[in-house]
Structure 1
């Protein structure tokens, strides 16, 4: 999975080309920052077509895990005896155009091909969904957070984590006097400000998702 920001994004923010030393670390730091952002938000962000996930419904509703959802092409009921896998026909499920799928009850006026014994049953609980999701361009605020995380590490005068002040000969550098303003060290981290900026993307609840491919 590609990083959420690029070296060019970093250079645009500092107004110069990265040095050889900075460039040697930049790609790894971008990958690390992207991983932390995706882990926190539970979102991939990039465009994916025909993604297949297996989901457990909450009642008759299935919440798709990745946003924005751009299309839903298939809903398959899993282990629905006596038919192991049943592709649900049009008219037996609906998508709200955002991220919610509703599977309609197994009534005879909707499900015209089910065995008679299954009508009015509770219906299957697990589904395999094929859908498209993601952004054509990574949102600008996500790129900004990714760059901020990387540049705070990349431009730090030292990789000694937690250092507040450093002196070399007559040169002294003060990182800051407020809490949390020590040297960030050699690895990227999500700050409280980063979490605040990413809050609108964070998934806090939904149906259980298992990635199929």
Structure 2
């Protein structure tokens, strides 16, 4: 998706963008604006000057550095912390769906459409039809191998800070 605009809660050093992968280049600029709340002041933030980006995480300055714009703005806020709200306009997602993801989606669609009523077998007089066990059970669900194939595309639900 191109130029998706969202408002995220700030107040910390790291701001995680919810959709991945982030696409940031000349045709797809990353625009970050800190919203100061009741005053209505909006501050445009620039990558490299006001924050650093690593993947989908935008990080304010480290609290042990000399105070700079990277430490937070305006200066009366705690150092190295985003404003209470941050508006981000960015592009994300794949230009084309990866082949392995498309294969899994199509396999689930075939499974669901080949036996939409989840029948094991159907018999009418001398006619009998039997479905494979893979097509039975609560609609199409991911197998363990499909889950493993999709794991690289998932983002972490949480992170553990090193001690």
Same structural fold, with TM-score higher than 0.5 when normalized by the shorter chain: yes
Aligned pairs for 1:55-204 (under 5 A) are: 55-57=8-10, 59-71=12-24, 72-80=29-37, 82=39, 84-89=41-46, 91-96=49-54, 98-104=55-61, 109-110=68-69, 117-118=76-77, 120=79, 122-156=81-115, 159-161=116-118, 163-176=119-132, 181=134, 183=136, 188-193=139-144, 194-204=146-156
Change (3 A) 1:77 1:130: same
Cα deviation, 1:148-205, whole Å, max 9, x if unaligned, reads: 111112233xx433x22222333323324xxx646457xx533334434322222343
Partner secondary structure for residue 102 of structure 2: helix
Q: Is the 8 A contact 1:75 1:88 kept in 2?
A: yes
Q: Is the 8 A contact 1:75 1:129 kept in 2?
A: yes
Change (3 A) 1:168 1:115: closer
* Cα offset, 1:77, TM superposition: 0.9
Q: TM-score, normalised by structure 2?
A: 0.70
Gaps of 5+ in 1: 1-47, 207-213
State the Cα RMSD in Å.
3.4
Change (3 A) 1:118 1:59: closer
Higher helix share: 1
Cα deviation, 1:34-57, whole Å, max 9, x if unaligned, reads: xxxxxxxxxxxxxx2211122224
Cα deviation, 1:40-93, whole Å, max 9, x if unaligned, reads: xxxxxxxx2211122224721111222221215211112256453221245111
Q: TM-score, normalised by structure 1?
A: 0.56
* Cα offset, 1:116, TM superposition: 5.5
Task: Kindly indicate whether structure 1 or structure 2 has the higher relative contact order, using CA contacts under 8 Å at least 6 residues apart.
Answer: 1
Number of aligned residue pairs: give it.
151
Gaps of 5+ in 2: 159-163
